[in-house]
């Protein structure tokens, strides 16, 4: 079935063959439903069939009003559970409260949502309000309630517990996921609220299908549903004339929206709907765009969702080790004619810093990683070589730091500096994408003078033009041989002193140097005169022949860099050496 046919079939369904009266007795079943539209008939039907129902909602006043009216209608009383899906802290608190009351959960209706709100609205943690609420919030709540769902499956006669995930026909118009729009930035604003909504509804299906695949053999039945085009307050952010037209020709009374959800969540046939997509009214639908069945994309989304809700080590301020290490940067008299340089890297016990052919190795633990991000906030700029930029595609930001308090300024972002003598940087790299999205600073590229030869110059200038159009600024550095040892500190034909001179002329007074191996070796070769602080993280592991180390030739006595501090950071050991002025 094509896109147009599917859209028409879902928008104008035939008369339903399923009726609320068909629902079996639900005595002993615990069900949870996110509650905004309590008058749609779903909760009434569940209570009338003797289910124990939790209503998850933000407002206690509105929830109590709904519970009181439902009791008048059904004689049964629902239970309020405070939940704001746009705040992950609220999601966690709600799940903990439910777990303190119930050991089992038999049906979870993930049916709250927001549609086309003003673009400046985001979640408490800064996610796009639609994706953060419709997808991330539901994912986290479901993840936290998995123990209760698995217990509910074991106690059920059919060995099943059900998760009903509400999507929409709008998902038909999302042909993929743009992960750059999940958090606030230029890419998100450029996409617009309608496409962001469609993307979130595709996310519901992708997540639902992944849940079905991962937990189906443990009794979890995960189904995604399009409840239909309904007259509810979900469209409250739409222009009034659009709402009026839709109400006249497209929308059905709200109680119709309960039918497909109730069928998936309560009927015996629902136990066989794992991984299915249901359309109005209570029919199994097909997907005209294959992206919803793309297992690779499903896994990418699942991984992203897991990363957002992972328990994170929190370091709310820079460790004293950093304050001590960098304290002299503002007190050197007379001031330096170059930036203060902090050289930092992580190494294994056998002094390996990268994988074979320069591939990235994740050596340091989470504590050391967060320390490094704090270190970035304490420098004007951060420098890496082109090898690191190509192999790792780093962001060089402070994304792993806890968000500042509402009254505190944003964390300082260092200026990214890439040493790239041949202008090989990818114009679609994360550094440039972050700058264009408004989430990072403009990268500076330090490069060599124009090469000899007309053909080489033309190619070089073309690459320069592409990078500048992508947002980079390119600065030419004229190599200057080191006195007494010409060429030893060259990094891609550029010397450390010449690079530092250009950066100082650009107003950079403190520079953090992170790698890779060639850059580290170059700065170590000049450690006595050009490195002010050396911070090395030593990870408790051996890499062996699969790794790459660093090498250097010191130019003078090593006495001017002295060890000042060592400190454990999780499983790592951090060593600090400082220059004695």
- Does residue 83 form part of some domain? no
Tens digits of residue pLDDT in 12-70: 789 999 999 999 999 999 999 875 555 668 999 999 999 999 999 988 888 999 999 99
Please state the domain count of the chain: 2
Residue-level pLDDT at 401: 85
Confidence of residue 309 (pLDDT cuts 50, 70, 90): confident
> Is there a single domain that holds both residue 156 and residue 305?
yes
User: Known catalytic residue: 72?
Assistant: no
> Is there a single domain that holds both residue 361 and residue 445?
yes
Tens digits of residue pLDDT in 428-480: 999 999 999 888 999 999 999 988 888 899 999 999 999 999 999 999 998 65
> Is there a single domain that holds both residue 300 and residue 425?
no
Task: Answer whether residue 319 shows pLDDT above 90.
Answer: no
> Is there a single domain that holds both residue 148 and residue 187?
yes
User: Known catalytic residue: 103?
Assistant: no
Tokens 């010449």 belong to: 498
One DSSP character per residue, 276-324 reads: -EEETTTEE---SSGGGG-HHHHHHHHHHHHHHHS------S--HHHHH
> Is there a single domain that holds both residue 141 and residue 265?
yes
> Is there a single domain that holds both residue 382 and residue 432?
yes
> Is there a single domain that holds both residue 515 and residue 455?
yes
**Final residue before a domain boundary, out of 309, 326, 346:** 309
Domain with 508, as residue range(s), is 337-479+491-551
Tens digits of residue pLDDT in 100-145: 999 999 999 999 899 999 999 999 888 999 999 999 999 999 999 9
**pTM (whole model) above 0.85:** no
Which one is catalytic: 197, 277, 329, 550? Answer: 197
User: Known catalytic residue: 522?
Assistant: no
Tokens 């059905």 belong to: 252
Which one is catalytic: 167, 169, 224, 527? Answer: 167
> Is there a single domain that holds both residue 271 and residue 341?
no
Task: Answer whether residue 157 shows pLDDT above 60.
Answer: yes
Tens digits of residue pLDDT in 324-344: 888 777 666 667 889 999 999
> Is there a single domain that holds both residue 305 and residue 359?
no
Which one is catalytic: 201, 430, 518, 578? Answer: 201
Residue-level pLDDT at 230: 65
Tens digits of residue pLDDT in 411-433: 899 999 999 999 999 999 999 99
Confidence of residue 399 (pLDDT cuts 50, 70, 90): confident
- Does residue 401 form part of some domain? yes
High-pLDDT (> 70) share of the chain, %: 85
- The predicted model gives 503-511 an average pLDDT of 94
- Does residue 116 form part of some domain? yes
- Does residue 44 form part of some domain? no
> Is there a single domain that holds both residue 196 and residue 298?
yes
HEC assignment per residue over 43-56: HHHHHHCCCEEEEE
> Is there a single domain that holds both residue 500 and residue 385?
yes
Tens digits of residue pLDDT in 200-247: 999 999 999 999 999 999 999 999 999 987 665 555 555 565 455 455
CATH number, domain containing residue 15: 3.40.50.720
Least confident of 55-59, 90-94, 485-489: 485-489
> Is there a single domain that holds both residue 411 and residue 362?
yes
358: left (phi over 0), alpha (psi -120 to 50) or beta: left
Residue-level pLDDT at 490: 39
- Does residue 282 form part of some domain? yes
One DSSP character per residue, 22-36 reads: GPPP-TT-EEEEE-S
């Amino acid at each position: 079935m094509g896109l147009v046919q599917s859209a028409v079939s879902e928008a104008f369904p035939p008369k339903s063959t399923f009726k609320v009266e068909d629902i079996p007795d639900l005595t002993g079943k615990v069900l949870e439903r996110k509650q905004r539209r309590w008058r749609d008939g779903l909760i009434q039907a569940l209570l009338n069939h003797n289910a124990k129902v939790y209503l998850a909602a933000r407002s206690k006043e509105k929830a109590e009003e709904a519970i009181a009216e439902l009791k008048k209608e059904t004689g049964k009383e629902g239970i309020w559970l405070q939940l704001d899906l746009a705040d992950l802290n609220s999601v966690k608190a709600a799940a903990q409260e439910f777990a303190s009351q119930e050991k089992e959960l038999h049906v979870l209706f993930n049916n709250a949502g927001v549609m086309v709100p003003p673009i400046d609205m985001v979640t408490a943690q800064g996610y796009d309000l639609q994706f953060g609420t419709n997808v991330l919030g539901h994912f986290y709540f479901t993840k936290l309630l998995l123990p209760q769902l698995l217990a509910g499956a074991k106690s059920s006669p059919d060995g099943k517990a059900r998760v009903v995930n509400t999507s929409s026909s709008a998902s038909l118009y999302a042909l993929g996921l743009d992960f750059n729009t999940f958090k606030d930035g230029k890419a998100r604003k450029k996409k617009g609220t309608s496409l962001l909504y469609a993307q979130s509804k595709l996310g519901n299906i992708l997540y639902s299908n992944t849940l079905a695949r991962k937990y189906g053999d443990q009794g979890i039945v995960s189904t995604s549903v399009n409840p239909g085009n309904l007259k509810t307050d979900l469209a409250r952010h739409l222009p009034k004339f659009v709402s009026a037209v839709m109400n006249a020709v497209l929308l059905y009374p709200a109680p119709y929206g309960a039918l497909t959800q109730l069928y998936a969540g309560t009927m015996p046939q629902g136990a066989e709907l794992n991984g299915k997509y249901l359309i109005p009214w209570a029919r199994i639908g097909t997907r005209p765009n294959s992206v919803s069945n793309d297992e690779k994309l499903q896994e990418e989304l699942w991984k992203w969702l897991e990363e957002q809700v992972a328990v994170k080590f929190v370091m709310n301020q820079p460790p004293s080790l950093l304050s001590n290490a960098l304290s002299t940067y503002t007190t050197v008299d007379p001031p330096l004619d170059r930036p203060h340089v902090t050289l930092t890297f992580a190494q294994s016990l056998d002094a390996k810093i990268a994988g074979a052919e320069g591939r990235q190795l994740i050596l340091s633990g989470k504590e050391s990683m967060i320390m490094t991000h704090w270190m970035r906030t304490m420098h004007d700029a951060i420098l890496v070589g082109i090898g690191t930029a190509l192999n790792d595609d780093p962001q060089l930001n402070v994304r792993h730091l806890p968000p500042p308090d509402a009254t505190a300024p944003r964390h300082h972002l260092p200026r990214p500096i890439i040493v790239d003598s041949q202008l090989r940087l990818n114009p679609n790299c994360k550094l440039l994408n972050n700058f264009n999205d408004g989430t990072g600073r403009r990268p500076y590229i330090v490069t060599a003078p124009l090469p000899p030869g007309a053909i080489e110059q033309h190619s070089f200038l073309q690459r320069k033009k592409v990078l500048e159009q992508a947002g980079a600024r390119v600065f030419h550095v004229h190599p200057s041989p080191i006195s007494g040892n010409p060429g030893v500190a060259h990094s891609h034909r550029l010397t450390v002193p010449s690079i530092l001179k250009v950066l100082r002329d650009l107003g950079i007074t403190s520079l953090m140097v992170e790698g890779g191996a060639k850059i580290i070796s170059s700065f170590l070769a000049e450690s006595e005169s050009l490195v002010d602080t050396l911070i090395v993280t030593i990870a408790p592991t051996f890499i062996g022949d699969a790794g790459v180390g660093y090498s250097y030739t010191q130019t003078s006595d090593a006495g001017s860099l002295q060890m000042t501090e060592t400190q454990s950071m999780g499983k790592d050991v951090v060593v600090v050496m400082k220059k004695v002025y």
